[in-house]
Amino acid sequence: MAKITHSLLLRNGRVIDPANGLDETADVLIVDGHIAAVQPSIELQAHETLDVSGQIVVPGLIDMHVHFREPGQEYKEDFESGSKAAAAGGFTTVATMPNTKPVVDNAYLVEAMVDRAAEVGLINIKIIGALTKGQKGEQLAEMAEMSAAGAVAFSDDGHFVDNAKIFLNALDYLKPLGKLAICHEEETMLVKGGSMNESLNSTRLGLKGRPSIAEDIAIARDCLLADYAETRVHFAHVSSARAVDIIRETKSRGVKVSAECTPQHLTLTDDLVNPSDATTKINPPLRTQADCDALLEGLLDGTIDCLVTDHSPHAIYEKEFPYDQAPSGFPGLETSLAVMLTELVSKGRMPLNKLIEKMTIAPAKVFGLEAGTLSVGAKADVTVFDPNLEWIVEPEKFMSKAKFSPFAGRTLKGRVTHTICGGKLIFKL
């Protein structure tokens, strides 16, 4: 019998593991980086013991849509700072988008990113490659080679592939690889120059709008192409009520599409837009309360498969540009779980178990990852949070290099206290 080199025992937590239908007070034993037991009471003298009474123990959170800015924009974020931000937010697995400088559109860069992730070694960082060369939508990228080098999916995130033939070719190319196309869905010419949702608010504020119909048209087209090509398509950061309806109808016909949404699109509206504060500028933009409500309904009924943060850090001076000139996005890893707990779970709008499912086993299934579970033998990626701990969002204290947030100053209820990745305690509040 192999000698145990390290053991960690989490005692008396409420263990929620949707993958196994588990929700009970139990102990979790971790031995040499893997889950060894999940039982009501484990009588064992471990090398390290944490009493997590009154706290909730779940599989390590998974976020399949982040921007860590390597290579080329490390002043915004890098793998190390992004990993620390992820750990502070309870995430043990993330996937980085390829819209970097240069774009991750070849096997050499995928290999370099895989090596870089291993070098940092804090969390599991998966690499997403580009669908087209330079994300220009003109020529397919080297997807087979990138897949062999470790790319888990492919996306031109930040750009809609306008050319339907190019996108169809990409789907045909991906089918034998068994990898997802992740689609940023806004018809380009309809949103050109826009900086917020097209609405009465955009007219009142004098800002050019990005109409939701641009998202609806793009998603409708790609639902049809997914059906035609019989290939899996995943819709990034869905924000429109009508888009949810289109995806729901497409799924009802057995078409292999999946979708994600973000905490910001679920909980914030374009009523918050202030032209002098670009922290609310995101892409796609904040929409209406009706859109928020439709997204939540889609999340609850399975139309939307999983939650992501779309963690998009920038230097603070960049977000101080005029609203229509500032870059889109904000750092979301450190606030995501708490926002969901505060705005949805504590208000009775979403069951806690459903939230944990959407942040663990659901994304693992969509992307074919061996993660998101506390099954015996699984890699010990575990998150512990206190659902009653209140805290004020202070971006200057973020682990991320990006020190701003539309949630700044808000009191949130629920906070990660411990994050464990591969059996190692990588974050402690």
For 354, phi then psi, to 5°, come to -65, -40
Q: Where are the alpha helices (DSSP H) in 230-288?
A: 241-252, 263-267
**Strand segments (E) across 166-272:** 180-183, 196-197, 209-210, 233-235, 257-261
d(CA 199, CA 179): 37
Residue 310 is a catalytic residue: yes
d(CA 190, CA 158): 15
Residue with tokens 């998202």: 215
139, exposed or middle or buried, with CB in 10 Å at 0-12, 13-18, 19+? exposed
- Which is the catalytic residue, given 27, 105, 157, 310? 310
d(CA 421, CA 215): 36
What residues act catalytically?
310
